[in-house]
Amino acid sequence: MDKFTTHQGSVIPMDRPNIDTDAIIPKQYLKSVKRTGFGVNLFDDWRYLDAGEPDMDHSKRRINPDFILNNPRYSESSILLARENFGCGSSREHAVWALTDYGIRAIIAPSFADIFFNNSFKNGLLPIVLPASVIDTIFTELSATDHYDLVIDLQQQQLKTPSGESYQFEVDKFRKYCLLNGLDDIGLSLRHTDAIRAYEANRKKAAPWLFAS
């Protein structure tokens, strides 16, 4: 997994609530057996005017000029700003893979759906929860200028805006540790092999029917 320590980037404002994983990556792309290559189909239904299929040459498709990702101002952006309940819907990690493959490193919203939130951390994508009022302020500031960069410092759990304002955000200790160090949590869990074995032995005694097959 990629490390996440500090990040500076410009921000894409997506002013809608409940952006669901079907919108982030439509189902026809879930047929892939790989983890990469989803970026070109991020927000496919909104981003292109024609219907997309996995085996197409996506560089030849008709783009929707009204969709924010197609606005040249945001072509190099790496931070997404959205409204509440971002990532609701299916558990597809493909949604996170599409965002990271596209180049998004952090998403800022008042709230996230649980499974999406969890999946993000496993892929070096930082979801940042801030109060709705702060999100409002960022939306407003962003629309008032031509260039708007945020600086994210994970160690300090701090977000700095161009006006010099800084906001603190929460992040779990364990998740922060994994992100800062780019750690694979399977490896971490396997350090507890003995504890897992011991638990299993007890459970086998208490609930033998769970181990009968």
Q: Which residues are near other proteins by CB under 8 A?
A: 16-18, 20, 22-23, 26-28, 30-35, 45, 51-52, 54-55, 83-85, 88-94, 96, 111-115, 118-119, 122-123, 172-174, 184-186, 188-190, 192, 195-196, 199-200, 203, 206-213
* Shortest distance in whole angstroms from residue 113 CB to other proteins: 6
* Shortest distance in whole angstroms from residue 120 CB to other proteins: 9
* Shortest distance in whole angstroms from residue 82 CB to other proteins: 12
Given phi > 0 = left and psi -120 to 50 = alpha, else beta, which region is 103?
left
Residue placing its CB nearer to other proteins in the complex, 2 or 200: 200
Residue placing its CB nearer to other proteins in the complex, 9 or 96: 96
Angle of helix 94-102 relative to helix 114-121, nearest 10 degrees, comes to: 50
* Shortest distance in whole angstroms from residue 164 CB to other proteins: 28
Residue placing its CB nearer to other proteins in the complex, 9 or 112: 112
The answer to whether 43 touches 110, Cβ cutoff 8 Å, is no
Residue with tokens 């897992």: 196
Q: Where are the beta strands (DSSP E) in 63-141?
A: 79-82, 106-109, 126-129
Residue placing its CB nearer to other proteins in the complex, 141 or 185: 185
Rounded-to-integer distance, Cα 208 and Cα 81, Å: 49
Query: Which tokens belong to 157?
Result: 């759990």
Query: Which tokens belong to 137?
Result: 């302020």
Rounded-to-integer distance, Cα 66 and Cα 49, Å: 10
* Shortest distance in whole angstroms from residue 76 CB to other proteins: 27
* Shortest distance in whole angstroms from residue 160 CB to other proteins: 25
Rounded-to-integer distance, Cα 11 and Cα 65, Å: 18
Residue placing its CB nearer to other proteins in the complex, 67 or 160: 67
Which residues, at least 6 apart from 200, have a Cβ–Cβ distance to it below 8 Å? none
Query: Which tokens belong to 12?
Result: 């894409």
The answer to whether 1 touches 183, Cβ cutoff 8 Å, is yes
Residue placing its CB nearer to other proteins in the complex, 116 or 148: 116
